[in-house]
Amino acid sequence: SQTIHQWPATLVQPVGSPLSLECTVEGTSNPNLYWYRQAAGRGLQLLFYSVGIGQISSEVPQNLSASRPQDRQFILSSKKLLLSDSGFYLCAWVGLAAYNEQFFGPGTRLTVL
């Protein structure tokens, strides 16, 4: 069966510090991968998606970047965090045979102080 992992589960970082969030998927190959941010009361905002190694598409201009160094690994990064980067970050994957059904990881709660 497929599983998706995210770490860390929670993170408190000062403004201006770097960020690295990791997402890995097990039990599938060549998935499409997605990063979402969920700010309080604002639903889910798609940040990045990837259809393969090294292929990253950005949905909104922002202070963040993403990378996919391996087939089942998706990393969200920032060089300098802003207060507005606080939120709940969710990683998801979809297999092409699954009608675009996305499977979500447990999320990372990021607080920037």
Contact set with another protein (CB under 8 A): 32, 34, 41-44, 46, 49, 51, 57, 88, 90, 92, 94, 96, 99-107, 109
Closest CA to 6 of 35, 32, 49, 31: 35
Q: Minimum distance between the CB of residue 51 and another protein, rounded to whole angstroms?
A: 6
Question: Which residue, 14 or 41, is less far from another protein as judged by CB?
Answer: 41
Beta strand pairing call for 55-58 and 65-70: unpaired
Q: Minimum distance between the CB of residue 91 and another protein, rounded to whole angstroms?
A: 8
Q: Minimum distance between the CB of residue 62 and another protein, rounded to whole angstroms?
A: 17
Beta strand pairing call for 103-104 and 3-7: unpaired
Structure tokens at 76: 């969200």
